[in-house]
Amino acid sequence: MTLKLYNSLTRQEENFQSLEPGKIKMYTCGVTVYDYCHLGHARSYIVWDTIRRYLMWQGYQVRYVQNFTDIDDKILNRARETGSSMESVAERFTEAYFEDMKRLNVLEADEYPRATQTIDGIKQLIKDLEKKGFAYPSGGDVYYQVRKFSEYGKLSGRRLEEMQAGASGRVESENLETAKKKDPFDFALWKAAKDGEPAWESPWGKGRPGWHIECSAMVRDCLGETIDIHTGGADLIFPHHENEIAQSEAATGKSYVRYWLHNGFVTINGEKMSKSLGNFTTIRDLLDRPVEPMAVRMFVLTAQYRKPIDFTQEAIASAENGWNTIKEGILFPQQHGSKLDGKCQKKPYLKRQSY
Q: Where are the domains of the chain?
A: 23-272
| Beta strand residue intervals within 155-226, DSSP E | 187-192, 207-209
Span 211-257, pLDDT tens digits: 999 999 999 999 999 999 999 999 999 999 999 999 999 999 999 99
DSSP letter assigned to residue 336: H
pLDDT tens digits for range 147-164: 999 999 999 999 887 775
> Using CA atoms, how far apart are residues 307 and 264, in angstroms rounded to an integer?
5
Nearest to 323 by CA among 300, 292, 289: 292
pLDDT level of residue 345 (50, 70, 90 thresholds): very low
Does the pLDDT value for residue 272 go beyond 90?
Answer: no
Do the beta carbons of residue 281 and residue 299 sit within 8 Å?
no
CA nearest neighbour of 241 among 278, 214, 264, 275? 214
Collect all residues with Cβ–Cβ distance below 8 Å to 61 and sequence separation of at least 6. Answer: 22, 23, 24
- The distance in angstroms from the start CA to the end CA of the chain is 50
Grade residue 350 by pLDDT with cuts at 50, 70 and 90. Answer: very low
Strand runs labelled E in 145-226: 187-192, 207-209
Which of 20, 33, 15 is CA-nearest to residue 69? 33
- Measured between alpha carbons, how far is 184 from 170 in angstroms, rounded to an integer? 9
pLDDT of 343 reads: 52
Structure confidence by residue, pLDDT tens digits, 13-59? 999 999 999 999 999 999 999 999 999 999 999 999 999 999 999 99
pLDDT in the model for residue 336: 60
pLDDT band at 276 (very low <50, low <70, confident <90, very high): confident
Determine contact, residues 328/349, Cβ cutoff 8 Å: no
H or E segment at 63?
strand 61-66
Burial (CB < 10 A; 0-12, 13-18, 19+), residue 274, is exposed
**Is a pLDDT exceeding 60 seen at residue 166?**
no
8 Å CB contact between 134 and 250: yes
Superfamily (CATH H level) for 23-272: HUPs (3.40.50.620)
* Residue 1 scores a pLDDT above 90: no
d(C-alpha 295, C-alpha 304), whole Å? 16
Tens of pLDDT along 175-212?
667 789 999 999 999 999 999 899 999 999 999 999 99
DSSP state of 69: B
Q: What is the pLDDT of residue 339?
A: 57
- pLDDT (tens digit per residue) in 311-331: 999 999 999 999 999 988 877
Model confidence, pTM: 0.89
Residue 337 is predicted with a pLDDT of 61
Kindly write down the DSSP assignment for every residue of 223-242, as one continuous string: H-SSEEEEEEEGGGIIIIIH
Q: Where residue 338 falls among pLDDT bands split at 50, 70, 90? A: low
How far is it, in rounded angstroms, from Cα 3 to Cα 55?
9
- What φ, ψ does residue 191 adopt, rounded to 5°? -115, 135
Q: What's the chain's average pLDDT?
A: 90
Pinpoint the alpha helices (H) of 59-115.
Answer: 73-82, 86-103
The answer to whether 171 touches 164, Cβ cutoff 8 Å, is: yes
Cis upstream peptide for 333 (omega within 30°): no
pLDDT in the model for residue 87: 96
Rounded alpha-carbon distances, angstroms, from residue 126 to 5, 184, 192, 204, 249:
32, 19, 14, 10, 13
How far apart CA 335 and CA 208 sit, in angstroms, is: 58
Instruction: Give the residue from 297, 299, 317, 321 showing the smallest Cα distance to 309.
Output: 299
In this prediction, residues 80-108 reach a mean pLDDT of: 97
Per-residue model confidence (pLDDT) at position 332:
64
200 - beta bridge partners?
207
Task: Using the predicted structure, report yes or no on whether residue 346 has a pLDDT greater than 70.
Answer: no
Cα–Cα distance for residue pair 128/121, rounded to 1 Å: 11
